[in-house]
Structure 1
Amino acid sequence: MTERVILKPADETGVLESVQWALATKNPLEIIGHGSKRGIGHVVAAGHVLDLSALSGVTLYEPEELVLSAKAGTPLAEIETLLAQHGQCLQFEPMDYGPLLSGEAGRGTIGGVLAANLSGPRRLKSGAARDHILGVRVVSGRGELFKSGGRVVKNVTGYDLSKGMANSWGTLGVLTEVTFKVLPRPETEVTLALRGLTDEQAARAMALAMGSREEVSSAAHLPPTVAWRFLEGKLGGDPATLLRLEGFAPSVKHRSQRLHDLFGNAVTIDQLDETQSAMIWREVRDVMPYVKPGDQRAIWRVSVAPMLGWQLVDAFRRHAGVDAYYDWQGGLVWLRMEADPEAEILRKLIAALGGGHATLVRAPEAVRAQLDIFQPQPAALAALSRRLKQQFDPENILNPGRMYRTGA
């Protein structure tokens, strides 16, 4: 039996040499940063590990140019602290999977942010990681170092390889450095909580608010089964439909009043101050209602059209025990199963509603081994994925088997 090797290069040259060794000796590698998302996907079919945690540090930060470059293993928490000191942020507010997967908070890396294409509650307004990436440096599975993009938003002709690394989960190349666009942090924020709405009523209220002129940056709905788990129980047990307003204080105050007028006396509205607002959106982002030590009940991350999320949950509950709440105006549904994942039923329901994506983000290893973790791709897209894999990692040495059981 071959002894397990953990390669921990200190720099980009070391990463390149590690991949070239793996290629020459036909030893597949599991690619990790700090391992905060290691529980997502299948167990990697590799006997050796390429640990990027030593590739850490900001290599360029020009606040006036709204540009930041960092080595791939740099903890996201360090970058967010640096940006906050200059009144800036990653506008797409990437989520932290650590606590949900029984790990520590703040362990995710900036390379992992792009590899998993992370985003948060501002997704509808600000996009995800792929919409803010400017450039990358990558070692491919061919043992070649290449770079794409740079410090400007517009890319030259050809493939946008920076965006191509998004959601690849380390199966196409090993990121060594990333460059992101950063933006000013909102001066203040408040959140309006519309109380007592059903899931269907909440979907309509969120659509009305997001379609208004009041520049609502995030909308989520917390049914009564989860509402009491937010803000240390301060919301109580009534449903809460959340609308976030951000920007300059006078503007936020004005837009808040306009939303009160929009809904009139039809619904009770609580207003969360800046501290409460920031806290509740972090909890929404990081799926904190379903974080419990030792709890391994399956959790699905489902994306559908915003007005269809509640319909999906309603239909799914006729087949299985499900708890749920909604982000992205109802289009991102977090589902916690009481028993089996029921993957086949869920994906059939999604297809019947016109399509979407379902990713199993938490389940025991034995359960994950039997299911498609990521949404199965249509034939044409699957063929394209295979061509990309062949181009970047023809020997399948980078994270083999993590995304698909067939080993792509």
Structure 2
Amino acid sequence: MTTITPTTENEIVEAVQWALAEQAPVEVIGYGSKRDLGRPLQTEHTIALSGYAGVTLYEPDELVLSARAGTPMAELETLVAENGQAFQFEPMDYGPLLGQPAGQGSLGGLLATNLCGPRRLKAGSARDHVLGVRVVSGRGELFKSGGRVVKNVTGYDLSKGMANSWGTLGIATEITFKVLPTPETETTLVIRGLADDEAARAMAIAMGSSGEVAAAAHLPGNVAGRVIDGALNGAASTLLRVEGFAPSVADRAGMLKGLLATAGEVDALPQETSRRLWREVRDVIPFADATERPVWRVSMVPMQAYKLVASLRMGAAVDAFYDWQGGLVWLRMEGDPEAEAVRALIRTYGGGHATLVRAPASVRAALPVFEPQPAPLAALSKRLKQQFDPSGILNPGRMVAGV
């Protein structure tokens, strides 16, 4: 197996042109932190972007950052934090869940997998913050899309099109993101002891209020004990994050406590504990158990999520917790991934999609890891792949067998 580690953009172009000339499919990675996510690849060659790293532009006053694709996200997050800024979409780190060290993800991987975190409902995902990108297509051609300001797009926005493409359309070489100021302070309100259905209603009330809740999640009792060193005492915990200027946070937190007083006891976590808690929710730390037990990421209607989990538990051993007000459900199965049951129940409870995030390679090779697309959308995806990578040399089969 050959690993090519380019150190310049021209070398990336040359690597793709070589693969195209040889009709040699290649795996595209940064540092490999998400290598075990998606369908297993059968390639003899790898293009690793870890050698093509570094910040090319950072203007804190303009809220703009550009960097090469191999730049570690940990370095970028440290850099912007020193200037009181952050990637507000709160990109998760898949490393711990997949048995890899934390902090190994790259900027290119962030865009390719369209990362986000608990603030998704308020801030969106990576695709909502990307301003511009330079890409080498599967044709071996370099192109750019977007730029370094927010309002500069006409026609198709290919910068956003690269998000969630999993390296199957092109290799991003340099990416520009907008960054935003870090909230001055935050607190997390914790409601103890709610059942899943009660938590769903409480989160809906909070998110529909004027409290400007930045994130809402529910950890059932068997999950709550696995975060922040057990500080939640293993009690089912419904979490509401409030952030902004200190006086506003205090005022809104007080209002929410009054609004939810009938739901149960409401505690408030201090800022540092709150930030750590949401990082652990973001990175699915409750299921980062150094095993290959199947883990699903399910996106669906928030008020239907607890019904799906309850129905699953009638026939399978499953742990679950809820983010995005219940719109994102993390499921850990004890044995069989129960793919047919999971996807059938999603259809029963209003629709959505499920991604098999973790499982042994043999399982991921045999099942649709990503939600199967309706025929018209699948045809469109194939046409897009044909336009960008007609020979199918970039991450072939990563998302769909044969594509």
Pairwise TM-score range, normalised by the shorter structure: over 0.9
Correspondence for 2:240: 243
Residue 350 (structure 1) shift: 0.6
Q: Distance in 2 between matches of 1:156 and 1:341?
A: 42
In the superposition, the TM-score normalised over structure 2's length comes to 0.99
Q: Quick check: 77-86 or 259-268, which moved more?
A: 259-268
- Matched residue type, 2:169: L
Structure 2 counterpart SS, 1:226: helix
Range moving further from structure 2, 89-98 or 353-362: 353-362
Equivalent position amino acid for 1:313 in 2: V
Contact 2:192 2:237 in 1 (8 A): yes
* 2:231 is the counterpart of 1:234: yes
Give the match for residue 253 of structure 2. Answer: 256
Q: CA RMSD in A?
A: 0.8
Structure 1 residue 216 corresponds to structure 2 residue 209: no
1:391 to 380, 387, 390: 387
Partners in 1 of 2:4 and 2:235 — Cα distance?
51
Q: Structure 1, residues 182-215: CA drift from partner, whole Å, max 9, x if none? A: 0000011100000111100000000100110011
Does residue 1:14 correspond to 2:11, yes or no? Answer: yes
Structure 1, 153-162 or 376-385: larger mean CA deviation: 153-162
Amino acid at match of 2:62: E
Worse-matched range after superposition: 322-331 or 146-155: 146-155
Query: Are 1:41 and 2:26 matched, yes or no?
Result: no
Q: Is the 8 A contact 1:67 1:181 kept in 2?
A: yes
Match of 2:54 in 1: 57
Q: Is the 8 A contact 2:91 2:110 kept in 1?
A: yes
Secondary structure at 1:245 match in 2: strand
Aligned with residue 168 of structure 2, among 171, 177, 180 = 171
- After TM superposition, the structure 1 = structure 2 runs for residues 45-194 of structure 1, keeping only pairs within 5 Å, are 45-194=42-191
Aligned-partner Cα distance in 1 for 2:42–2:135: 22
Contact 1:224 1:237 in 2 (8 A): yes
Q: Which runs of 5+ in 1 are unaligned?
A: none
- Post-superposition shift, 1:168? 0.4
Among 326, 346, 352, which residue is 2:348 paired with? 352
**What is the identity percentage for the equivalent residue pairs of Structure 1 and Structure 2?**
65
**CA separation in 1, counterparts of 2:227 and 2:263?**
24
Question: What amino acid does structure 2 have at the position aligned with 1:226?
Answer: V
User: What is the DSSP-based 3-state SS (H/G/I as helix, E as strand, rest coil) of the residue aligned with 1:179?
Assistant: strand
Is 1:402 equivalent to 2:398 in the alignment? yes
Equivalent residue number for residue 336 of structure 2? 340
Structure 1 runs of 4+ with >2 Å offset: 154-157
The match for 2:22 is 25
Give the partner amino acid of 2:127.
Answer: R
Q: Secondary structure at the match of 2:149?
A: coil
TM-fit CA distance, 1:356: 0.6
Q: Distance in 1 between matches of 2:350 and 2:231?
A: 37
Q: Distance in 2 between matches of 1:394 and 1:354?
A: 36
Displacement of 1:353 in angstroms is 1.5
Q: C-alpha offsets along residues 330-366 of structure 1, whole Å, 9 cap, x if unaligned?
A: 0100000011001011111111122111000100111
Name the count of aligned residue pairs.
Answer: 403
**Are the equivalent residues in 2 in contact too, given 1:7–1:51 (CA < 8 A)?**
yes
Bigger drift between 37-46 and 110-119 goes to 37-46
State the TM-score, normalizing by the size of structure 1: 0.98
Q: For 2:220 and 2:263, how far apart are their aligned partners in 1?
A: 18
Within 5 Å, give how 1:298-317 maps onto structure 2: 298-317=294-313
Q: 1:203 to 1:401 in 2, by over 3 A?
A: same
2:257 is paired with a residue whose SS is: helix
Check conservation: 1:45, 1:402, Cα contact below 8 A.
no
Question: Contact (CA 8 Å) 1:298, 1:336: kept in 2 or not?
Answer: yes
Matching residue of 1:362: 358
Aligned-partner Cα distance in 1 for 2:366–2:53: 36
Task: Give 1:63 deviation, angstroms.
Answer: 0.5
CA contact (8 A) 1:202 1:221 kept: yes
Q: 1:285 aligns with which of 274, 282, 291?
A: 282
**What are the ranges of 5 or more consecutive residues in structure 2 without an aligned counterpart?**
none
Deviation of 1:265 (Å): 4.4
